[in-house]
Chains A and B, each alone.
Chain A
Amino acid sequence: MNPLSVVVRTGCDLFAWFMVVFGVNVLVHGYMTPGGGFQGGAIIATFTAFLLVAYGGRKLLGWANEKIFDLFEEVGLLAFFFLAFMGFPVTFFYNYLVKPLAAGGVVPPAGTTALMSIAVGLEVSGALSMVILTMYRGIRMFETAPMEEEIGHDR
């Protein structure tokens, strides 16, 4: 994909980081506001899609480090499984960190519900970003023309 016009790129500069912060906000507060891990992760993954559409694929592949997205995915999935297995003396998925509603502390009173929401958000954001990058590279693989003569979706 070719880069879009300067208007779109400026809009991307303004809103891309906002989407990341908003996604983190959604997944961190998943236990008390509408949203949660899957939704927040999907919002974070729009960051990659924003960059791909606005700046073009060649720049995005230069910027993005796929190992980080891979790490996000694996760490999120393993943390999710680990939190689920930690409740095993009682049951699988036992909420062993739950506290009364008024109690304070670093971990929210919802316990594993809040932590699992963050873990799933990491997993989903990494997985969707990897899907975008991998599919873009797969499309480029079948093109014989050099990148300069590529026909973008906007031209």
Chain B
Amino acid sequence: MKKMIFVVAALLLGAMVVGAVDNAHPFGFPGKTPMDDFFLADALPNRSTENIVTAIVFDYRGFDTIGEAAVLFTALCAISVLFREGGRKR
């Protein structure tokens, strides 16, 4: 019984994945483009940035980059605490 439920669920999931892949837009032709078009048209004349990825990472979505820097800082803090010398002897 359990096996049957598993098989049915797996088949259902496979069918959904196949349907989703089949319905995906072709590579290079996204479905909705107003945001992409804005970045491509705005980055060079208004932000003077040739590298549009950097313009997005450090300008349009800078708040996200602050999060990334905070993640790195938190990781360093955690590693320093984990590998600290001294403390309780075993």
- List chain A residues, Cβ under 8 A from B46: 98
Contact B79 A113 (CB under 8 A): no
A117 to chain B, nearest CB (A): 6
Interface assignment of B35: CB less than 8 Å from any CB of chain A: no
- How far, in angstroms, from A130 to B69 measured CA to CA in the complex? 15
Tell yes or no: A48 within 8 A of B by CB.
no
Are A93 and B54 within 8 A (Cβ)? Answer: no
Q: A101-B44, A101-B48 are in contact. Are A92 and B63 (CB under 8 A)?
A: yes
Cβ A134 vs Cβ B80 within 8 A: yes
Q: Are B83 and A138 in touch, CB under 8 angstroms?
A: yes
B68: chain A residues within 8 A (beta carbon): 38
Contact A111 B48 (CB under 8 A): yes
Is B48 a contact partner of A131 (Cβ separation < 8 A)?
no
Which residues from B are CB-within-8-Å of A36? 51, 53-54, 57-58
Q: Chain B residues with Cβ under 8 A from A30's Cβ?
A: 51, 54
The A-contacting residues of B in range 57-75, CB under 8 angstroms, are 57-59, 62-63, 65-66, 68-69, 72-73, 75
Q: Is the interface of B mostly helix, strand, loop or mixed?
A: helix
Asked if A61 CB lies within 8 Å of chain B CBs, one says: no
Contact partners of B47 in chain A: CB under 8 A: 95, 98, 110-111, 113
Counting contact residues on chain B (CB < 8 A from A), the size range is 20 to 34
Instruction: Please choose the segment from A9-17, A51-59, A73-81, A145-153 that sits at the chain B interface, where 4 or more of its residues have CB less than 8 A away.
Output: A73-81
Q: Which of B54, B59, B72, B83 has the most chain A CB atoms closer than 10 A to its own CB?
A: B54
A133 CB to nearest chain B CB (Å): 10
> What is the bound-complex CA distance between A128 and B70, given in angstroms?
14
Q: Which of A33, A84, A116 contacts B51 (CB 8 A)?
A: A33
A71 within 8 A of B: no
Expressed in whole angstroms, the Cα–Cα distance for A149 and B66 within the complex equals 45
A34 adjacent to chain B (CB < 8 Å): yes
Q: Measured between alpha carbons, how far is A17 from B54 in the docked complex, in Å?
A: 26
| 7 further interface pairs, Cβ-Cβ under 8 Å (given A100-B48, A123-B73) | A36-B53, A80-B66, A84-B62, A101-B45, A111-B47, A116-B62, A117-B58
Query: Which residues of chain B have a CB within 8 Å of any CB of chain A?
Result: 44-51, 53-55, 57-59, 62-63, 65-66, 68-69, 72-73, 75-76, 79-80, 82-83, 85
19 A-B contact pairs sorted by A residue (CB < 8 Å): A31-B54, A33-B50, A34-B53, A36-B57, A77-B73, A93-B59, A98-B46, A98-B47, A110-B55, A112-B58, A112-B59, A113-B49, A113-B58, A120-B58, A120-B69, A127-B76, A131-B75, A131-B76, A134-B83
